[in-house]
Amino acid sequence: MFFDMNYLWFVLIPTMLLSFGVQMYLRSTFAKWSGVRNSANLVGPQVAQALFSRTSLDDIPVQRVPGALTDHFDPTTNVVRLSDPVSSQASVAAMAVTAHELGHVQQYQSRSPLIAMRSFLIPAMRLSPTVSYFLIMVGLFMQLTGLLWAGILFFGVSVIFSLLTVPVEIDASRRGLILLREANLLQTQDDERGAKAVLTAAALTYIAALVTSVLTLLYYVNLAQRRG
């Protein structure tokens, strides 16, 4: 499979170029707005506390995590973790990233249907990639088309998860901007423009992941049809 020219030209090269381009855009956008101070002069954890105190969000712990672009909300422990740059810089980028993670918090606290659907698939996601690749490889090696199709069905779970992740992430960014406005933290054009730019760049990474999943799935389907 890995020497299949169809895979090379229609999956590997396009997805590598797309992922590289999106990552470069994200990093350059984050770097640009990390150099612009937000008007409230608040670092990430302070932004979080302002949002907790000025909006309807229930207060939860906010912790610092090493690295850059490692920010996330952990629903299993109900903790928001902010990266070193976001935790230490009073930048527009730090404010936007914090708001996005608190957008996820609001999704869980308001029991958003989108997050509920994605959470429903998480147990299956822990197994489906390993099972799918195993079945696909065995199906190809032993020339068993039935196993190949079974592997494709398992891989489809990953595609559905990626498909649900895109609207979840876009919704978290939308909620984050609304929270910033409610807390009166978007006071200048730089605040508004920079926050939107950072959140848009972040959303593109999930769209790129979805495109990669879909192209891979289509390749597997085409491969099974050819083997069948």
Residues with catalytic roles: 101
**Contacts (Cβ under 8 Å, ≥6 apart) of 225:** none
Token pair for 61: 């712990």
Q: What are phi and psi for residue 148, nearest 5 degrees?
A: -60, -45
Give the dihedral of Cα atoms 53, 58, 60, 62; nearest 10 deg: -40
Helix locations, 55-91, DSSP H: 84-88
Nearest CA-CA partner of 39 in 199, 195, 209, 224: 195
**8-state DSSP, 55:** S
Nearest CA-CA partner of 73 in 102, 107, 111, 44: 102
Helix locations, 110-188, DSSP H: 113-141, 145-182
Pairing of strands 62-65, 79-83: parallel
Sheet with 72-74, side-by-side order of all strands? 62-65, 79-83, 72-74
